[in-house]
Amino acid sequence: MSTSVAPSRGPLYKEGVREKLVERIDLAAGTRRGERDTVVDEAPLTITARGREVAVVMRTPGEDLELVRGLLHAEAGEALAGRALVQVASDRVDVDAEPGELPARSFMATAACGVCGRVAIAALEARATTVTSDLVVDAAVLAAVPDGLRAGQTQFAATGGLHGAGLFDRAGRRLAVREDVGRHNAVDKLIGAALAEGRLPLTDHVVAVSGRLGYELAEKVVLAGAPIVVAVSAPSRLAIDVAERFGVTVCGFVRGTRMNVYSHGWRVRGPKPET
């Protein structure tokens, strides 16, 4: 019979969400104040097959057994999806199957969800360095970035079905936009183009994404050396943690004259913080 183990809960923890201190900037009102904000949680779930690690899923904690069963059904069929699942820890689910029974290529790629099957987030420490750029950008410039990104999304304008990623200079000028049905692919295309043009590391640039900012996108920004990332939607808790650790400023919910700054707010020049 399947069992589940509830994760430990700290004072600011609720399954699936976390609280973070953010800076809310409103250019129209000329205000900048610190407030608690709820952000979606993102954490790795290790999938094992009779004790042996086979994949890592980046997910919002909760309904882990359902998540794994759904992945198995999509990638391996109904028979394997019907096997017993046990949540042996808050971040680990074991499948009653031999590792060889799981489809090696398709399941690993899908389950990794942009992390390419890596079994430990700590691997980023071995591959990335802190972004040491001294770039500081006006809040008004960052507030205009999403409109600049949208203006460059010609395929989205025609189809309404693509994610976008853009590269901007410190003055907010759009340098490049790439689109793809996968948000990870859009960022990969953008960074690949920048690499081909000799722009890496992106120490004097702003990267923009058309949707939410998850761990895998934050990781790509760090590896490219970009000091500021602008997201139209929300960042996840783990993306914020990665940005804090590696010196990247995350601006989320950048819409109109408002934005939330989740990490390294010193890079955003704007209204003085309220006391």
pLDDT in tens, 61-115: 888 888 788 788 867 878 888 899 999 999 999 999 999 888 764 454 444 444 4
Assess if residue 80 is contained within a domain: yes
Distances (CA, A) of 161 to 142, 157, 193, 210: 24, 9, 22, 12
Q: Say which CATH number the domain at 108 has.
A: 3.10.20.10
Q: For residue 216, what are the contacts with CB-CB under 8 A and spacing of at least 6?
A: 58, 113, 114, 115, 184
**Domain identity same for 88 and 186:** no
- Pairing mode, if any, of strands 228-231 and 205-209? parallel
Q: Which two tokens stand for residue 201?
A: 């590391």
* CATH code, domain carrying 201: 3.40.140.10
Q: Are residue 140 and residue 265 in the same domain, yes or no?
A: yes
Above 90 in pLDDT, residue 26?
A: yes
pLDDT of 159 reads 79
Residue-range definition of the domain harbouring residue 86 = 43-120
Same domain, 265 and 133: yes
168 and 58 assigned to the same domain: no
The predicted model gives 144-167 an average pLDDT of 91
Instruction: Tell me, yes or no, whether 173 and 80 share the same domain.
Output: no
Q: How many domains does the chain have?
A: 2
pLDDT tens digits for 12-23? 445 677 888 999
What do you get for the CA distance between the two ends of the chain, in Å?
55
What does the DSSP assignment read for the chain?
-----PPP--TTEETTEEEEEEEEEETTTTEEEEEEEEEE--EEEEEEETTEEEEEEEE-SS-HHHHHHHHHHHHH-HHHHTS-EEEEETTEEEESS-GGGS-HHHHHHHHHTTSTT-S-TTHHHHH---------EEHHHHHHHHHHHHHT-HHHHHHS--EEEEEEETT--EEEEEEESSHHHHHHHHHHHHHHTT--S-TTEEEEESS-B-HHHHHHHHHHT-SEEEESSPBPHHHHHHHHHHT-EEEEEEETTEEEEEE-GGGEE-SPPP-
* % pLDDT > 70, the chain: 87
Same domain, 110 and 138: no
113 catalytic residue (yes or no)? yes
State the catalytic residue, choosing from 17, 81, 108, 113: 113
Rounded average pLDDT over 48-69: 86
Q: Give the end of a domain, one of 60, 90, 120.
A: 120
**Same domain flag for 135 and 265:** yes
The residue among 90, 120, 150 that closes a domain is 120
Residue of 156 and 207 predicted with greater confidence: 207
pLDDT number for residue 136: 98
